[in-house]
Amino acid sequence: EDKVVQSPLSLVVHEGDTVTLNCSYEVTNFRSLLWYKQEKKAPTFLFMLTSSGIEKKSGRLSSILDKKELFSILNITATQTGDSAVYLCAVEETSGSRLTFGEGTQLTVNP
Amino acid sequence: DAGITQSPRHKVTETGTPVTLRCHQTENHRYMYWYRQDPGHGLRLIHYSYGVKDTDKGEVSDGYSVSRSKTEDFLLTLESATSSQTSVYFCATAGTARNTIYFGEGSWLTVV
């Protein structure tokens, strides 16, 4: 059974801090790993990672995948209160075309 | 935004009644999914579809059925709602390349 584990489950930081969110996975036929940000409603897409060692970057957010060790990290630098959200990690398998999600990391950024 | 509309957005229903949630998309995406989201469990796949009339079960499919008679619509039915099905339900879609998966705004269902 596919499994995705995120850590920490909850994190409280101050504005300006840098945070690292972790995602480890076990999946039979790995295709991609995705990161989403969820505020009050629908998850919104951040990154899709398919290759090891290639960093994806968008503004203050970046992410990298290690397919050998089966994990990914999401970094957020110079955090802002608007970064407060649940960050979801999901893995997609090649067959069955479905995503398995982790529980998410609740990030709270205090002013 | 992939043009996904879920209806109803909010519903309160009684135990034992049937409920149907609708997901409508305008992007002609091949893949459609129904997830439920609960505290402590994250997002869990209920059913998914990889084409018209082609559906398969996810990890929490018991008590749910789906139908996809048209590309744009994916219906989730609770034949006889139970309190354990109180949840937020998200529809999601992906195109053939599956480069990304888009989510609808969610349907909040309360079974009393």
Structure confidence by residue, pLDDT tens digits, B57-102? 988 999 999 999 999 999 999 999 999 999 999 999 987 766 678 8
Task: Tally C-beta pairs within 8 A across A and B.
Answer: 54
Tell me: pLDDT of A13 over 90: yes
**Selected residue with higher pLDDT from B14 and B97:** B14
**Helix-strand-coil percent breakdown of chain A, rounded to 5?**
5, 60, 40
CB A63 within 8 A of CB A75: yes
Let me know if B46 is exposed, middle or buried by CB neighbors in 10 A (0-12, 13-18, 19+).
buried
Is B100 in Cβ contact with A34 (below 8 Å)? yes
How far, CA to CA in Å, does A101 sit from each of A60, A82, A104, B83?
23, 23, 8, 23
Interface test with B, best of A92, A97, A105 (most B CBs within 10 A): A97
pLDDT of residue B1: 55
Nearest-5° Cα angle at B20, B14 to B25: 145
In angstroms, what separates the C-alpha of B93 from chain A's closest C-alpha?
Answer: 10
| Nearest residue in A to B54, CA atom | A96
- Position A41 confidence tier, pLDDT thresholds 50, 70, 90: confident
Is B90 in Cβ contact with A98 (below 8 Å)? no
Give CA–CA dist A35/A107, Å, rounded.
14
Residues A38-62: what's their mean pLDDT? Answer: 91
Nearest by Cα to B105 from A89, A84, A40? A40
Tell me: pLDDT of A32 over 70: yes
pLDDT of residue A86: 95
